[in-house]
Amino acid sequence: MALGKTPTTLVSNQTITASGTYVSPSSLDLSGAISLEIGFKGTFDASTNAGARVEIFSDITGANSSFTVGTNDEPVDAMDISHVSGTKAKAAQFICCSKYIKVKVTNLGNKSMTGVYVYAIIQTQ
């Protein structure tokens, strides 16, 4: 039996202000997922003082694909991205046990990030 890999764009070409956040507008269905890879790409201002953080949030009921990520909600998994002058890309394996997930990107720096993308690659059997 062959394994399938389905790429999905969760965040597309966003600008995130200094110390700002962006939550993916729609959720990702991980039904049947064996593994999940999340990829980040974004451009940092040359004079920023910090990087970014990508967090995964899940619907705790497992039934609501349009759930909301609240201010005090805790992430299921996360990855930190160190800052550079220019564009940075990073990918990491994430926990895929939830049915529906959303991603939240937080700009930890004092300057805006531009061209922010977050991709998901779901592996299924």
pLDDT in tens, 54-105: 999 999 999 999 999 999 999 999 999 999 999 999 999 999 999 999 999 9
Share of the chain above pLDDT 70, in %: 99
Which regions of the chain does DSSP assign to beta strands (E)?
4-16, 21-23, 28-29, 33-44, 52-58, 77-81, 86-94, 100-107, 113-124
Distance CA 114, CA 22 (A): 12
Rg (CA), the chain: 15
Distance CA 91, CA 121 (A): 10
Q: Is the pLDDT of residue 106 over 70?
A: yes
Q: What is the pLDDT of residue 1?
A: 63
User: Residue 15 CB: number of other CB atoms within 10 A?
Assistant: 14
Distance CA 15, CA 63 (A): 31
Instruction: Tell which residue, 45, 52, 42, has the closest CA to residue 108.
Output: 52
pTM to 2 decimal places = 0.95
Instruction: Tell which residue, 23, 19, 69, has the closest CA to residue 48.
Output: 19
Going by pLDDT thresholds of 50, 70 and 90, the confidence category of residue 2 is confident
- Considering the segment(s) 4-124 as one domain, its CATH architecture is Sandwich (2.60)
> Domain limits of the chain?
4-124
